[in-house]
Amino acid sequence: MAKQYYNFLNGKWTRPHSKVYFDNINPADTSDVVGRFPESDGEDVEKAVRAAEAAYDAWRLFPAPKKGEIMMRAGQLMMKNKEKLARLMTREMGKVLAETRGDVQEAIDMAFYVAGEGRRLTGETTTSERKNKFAMTMRIPIGVCGLITPWNFPMAIPSWKIFPALICGNTVVFKPAEDTPASACEFVKILTEAGLPNGVVNFVCGGPNTGELIVRHPRIKLISFTGSCEVGRFVGEHCGRTLKRCSLEMGGKNAQIVMADANMDLALEGALWGAFGTTGQRCTATSRVYIQRKVFPSFVRSFIRQAKKVRIGNGLKPNAQMGPLINAAQRERVHNYVVRGVKEGAKVECGGKFARGAGLGKGFFYQPTVFTNVKPIMTIVREEIFGPVVCLMSIKDLEDGLRQANDTAYGLSSAIYTGNVNSAMKAIRDLEAGITYINGPTIGAEVHLPFGGVKNTGNGHREAGRTALDIFSEWKSVFVDFSGRLQKAQIDTD
């Protein structure tokens, strides 16, 4: 019998008002039920909001360095339990252990990074245009924040949202993706063990309906959402109508450019990792590779040869290099894109089918898939697939590569492999993306740098780094007049 889990409301694990539960399935083995989780309804969300509201005043006044100490302890607890957390995450969402260990490490890194921000939530002091008058700026919290996270990074992405929200003095209603609630549950347990006061973080499970209830709740002041563009547009539209603060992190159709002067072994390794890491289920995954014509044939041959060697299997197995897709619907979606690519004239060089074989029969496995003979207008070039599918295309020169890489509705991550410093600098300047790598793959964010993109990738905000504080706080300008008389700004001229 699978373990039954509850919501976490005001410091207590609480049965859902809905009395409805859903099964959390291991995508590598559908006979393995990780747990049964609540399908929360409006009353559950309302209880979470009330708890967050009740905790807000005390938490916003809690000294920021002390908040940071709680986060430091949370990071230490994650370090202590890293292997346990990684194994649960692999069981729950499928990616291989090396990657889930990295996911936990990213949450650890964010805990330590944001803990330090508790001692430097800096504003600015500046001059005043009047005599005997002091001016400064400071950050103030927003209130109750609704945080909605995806399944592909079940601990890292919640840490990107929760830790900055808390250090700024906000309280939280947190809803993880319905495919990965167990990892999120363990994250909340660690926060509690680290000493987080009751009601500061409230955890509600559920699917799209629960997420919509959070987005529409009138007393939630801010929504931070990571997920698809389709859902992100709904979130942005509602928040725009209600003047609710909103941060959106959505899709990508990321390109790697390979110039003839590049280190080909390095470029090949980066493209393979970018395309097939996390089974292609990253918003930063490399789904387009543009290779200079002079080296295109040899690069394609090597890439296909290596793609065929990728070892597919249960991520808990030590020899597995690529795990399953997250669920049956996602595997079907990926396959439909492959079928459409073939219909539109692209050539499948390898893959393009459900992965079969020993140990794969009960999971949502898909073969690493490589397309050539690809045209810029094809659907597989235009739309985010979110699976192990990559298009290899030739380019004439750097300008052609930059033009084609930028020919997309998205703008998250980008990469160029080149031995020419001038080409690298032009790519840094001209690639239309929030992230650019030189001689590195399109995946591999670091927590102290801003993460996010342009165009349809988001709405201009950034996660991670100090810029994450900007979405979770308001700026207040403060004027202290110690002149002892009324001074009229822009009117008094003496």
Catalytic sites, residue numbers: 249, 283
Per-residue CA distances from 311 to 50, 250, 305, 324, 366 (Å): 49, 29, 13, 11, 11
**Beta bridge pairs of residue 23:** 36
Query: Which tokens in the block code for residue 449?
Result: 């740098």
Question: Cα separation of 173 and 195, whole Å?
Answer: 18
Question: Cα separation of 152 and 280, whole Å?
Answer: 10
Query: Which tokens in the block code for residue 163?
Result: 């830790």
Main-chain phi, psi angles of 462, to 5 degrees: -130, 145
Main-chain phi, psi angles of 337, to 5 degrees: -65, -40
CB 349 within 8 Å of CB 371:
yes
Long-range contacts of 130-134 (CB under 8 A, 24+ apart): 130/481, 130/483, 130/487, 130/489, 130/492, 131/483, 131/487, 132/481, 132/482, 132/483, 132/484, 133/479, 133/480, 133/481, 133/482, 133/483, 133/487, 134/479, 134/480, 134/481, 134/482
Per-residue CA distances from 140 to 135, 164, 170, 215 (Å): 16, 13, 9, 22
Segment (H or E) for 303: helix 296-308
Question: Cα separation of 225 and 220, whole Å?
Answer: 13
**How many CA within 13 A on the CB side of residue 477?**
5
Question: Cα separation of 312 and 321, whole Å?
Answer: 6
CB 353 within 8 Å of CB 341:
no
Quote the Cα angle for 328-331-333, to 5°: 110
CB 70 within 8 Å of CB 32:
no
Could you tell me how far CA 436 lies from the centroid of its own chain? 17
- Say how many Å lie between the first and final Cα of the chain, rounded: 81
Helices (H) then strands (E): counts for the chain: 15, 21
